[in-house]
Amino acid sequence: EKLADRKLNVAEVTQSEIGQKQKLQTVLEAVHDLLRPHGWTIKWNVDSIHGKNLICILHLLVALAMHFRAPIRLPEHVSVQVVVVRKREGLLQTTHVTEELTTTTEVLTFSLKRDAFDTLFDHAPDKLSVVKKSLITFVNKHLNKLNLEVTELETQFADGVYLVLLMGLLEDYFVPLHNFYLTPESFDQKVHNVSFAFELMQDGGLKKPKARPE
3-state secondary structure the chain: CCCCCCCCCCCCCCCCHHHHHHHHHHHHHHHHHHHHHHCCCCCCCHHHHHCCCHHHHHHHHHHHHHHCCCCCCCCCCCEEEEEEEEEECCEEEEEEEEEECCCCHHHHCCCCCCCHHHHHHHHCHHHHHHHHHHHHHHHHHHHHHHCCCCCCHHHHCCCCHHHHHHHHHHHCCCCCHHHCCCCCCCHHHHHHHHHHHHHHHHHCCCCCCCCCCC
Is 82 domain-assigned?
no
What's residue 125's pLDDT? 60
Is 209 domain-assigned?
no
Q: How confident is the model at residue 214 (pLDDT cuts 50, 70, 90)?
A: confident
Nearest to 205 by CA among 173, 177, 157, 167: 167
> By percentage, how much of the chain surpasses pLDDT 90?
11
Q: How many domains does the chain have?
A: 2
Is 122 domain-assigned?
yes
What's the whole-model pTM score? Answer: 0.49
Residue type present at position 202: Q
Tell me, yes or no, whether 120 and 192 share the same domain: yes
18 versus 104: which is more confidently predicted? 18
C-alpha dihedral, 19 to 23 to 26 to 27, nearest 10°: -160
Tell me, yes or no, whether 60 and 126 share the same domain: no
Give the mean pLDDT of the chain.
Answer: 82
Is 101 domain-assigned?
no
Tell me, yes or no, whether 120 and 181 share the same domain: yes
The mean pLDDT of 21-32, rounded to a whole number, is: 89
Q: Which residues contact 105 (CB under 8 A, 6 or more apart)?
A: 76
Tell me, yes or no, whether 145 and 68 share the same domain: no
Tell me, yes or no, whether 68 and 139 share the same domain: no
The mean pLDDT of 4-30, rounded to a whole number, is: 84
| 55-64, 94-103, 107-116, 127-136: segment of lowest average pLDDT | 107-116
Is 93 domain-assigned?
no
- Specify whether the CB–CB gap between 120 and 127 falls below 8 A: yes
165 versus 8: which is more confidently predicted? 165
Tell me, yes or no, whether 65 and 128 share the same domain: no
Is 140 domain-assigned?
yes
Q: What is the CATH number of the domain that holds 192?
A: 1.10.418.10
- Domain membership of residue 199 as a residue range: 116-203
Tell me, yes or no, whether 128 and 196 share the same domain: yes
- Report the C-alpha gap between 189 and 185 in whole angstroms: 7
Is 11 domain-assigned?
no
What's residue 82's pLDDT? 86
Residue type present at position 97: V
- Give pLDDT tens digits for 63-105: 888 887 776 777 778 888 888 888 888 888 899 888 888 876 5
> By percentage, how much of the chain surpasses pLDDT 70?
87
Is 80 domain-assigned?
no
Categorise residue 172: left if φ over 0, alpha if ψ from -120 to 50, beta otherwise.
left
Q: How many CA atoms lie within 13 A of 150 on its CB side?
A: 26
